Amino acid sequence: MSDPEYYQTIEKASFAEYKDRGSKFIAYAYPVQSVEDCKQYLQQLKKEHPKAVHHCFAYRLGWDGNQFRVSDDGEPSGTAGRPI
């Protein structure tokens, strides 16, 4: 497998918050190298925000991007994980 000519990734951990009509949306982005990294961050965030109704996420790993997963975590199908 050859290296791609162009590759985008997350350089450092990031955080954002958005409020709309009484709801608060909190976003985190982390540089990860494995599915286990993703699971550990998700567990950490669930402990940090136990009252959150949904913990939606998405990840794409590897040079070819074929290892990925999205989760709407109870939101209507395709409205949270896929946009993430």
3-state helix, strand, coil in the chain (%, to 5): 15, 30, 55
**Has residue 4 been placed in a domain?**
no
User: What total number of domains does the chain contain?
Assistant: 1
DSSP state of 81: T
**Has residue 1 been placed in a domain?**
no
**Has residue 64 been placed in a domain?**
yes
Residue range 24-47: average pLDDT? 95
pLDDT above 80 for 80: yes
**Has residue 82 been placed in a domain?**
no
Range of the domain at 39: 14-71
CA distances (Å), origin 77, targets 2, 80, 83 = 35, 8, 11
Output the CA angle 43-65-76, nearest 5 degrees. Answer: 55
Q: Give SS3 for 29.
A: strand
Q: What residue has token string 């567990």?
A: 43
**Has residue 39 been placed in a domain?**
yes
Q: What is the percent of the chain with per-residue pLDDT over 70, rounded to a whole number?
A: 95
Quote the pTM value. Answer: 0.81
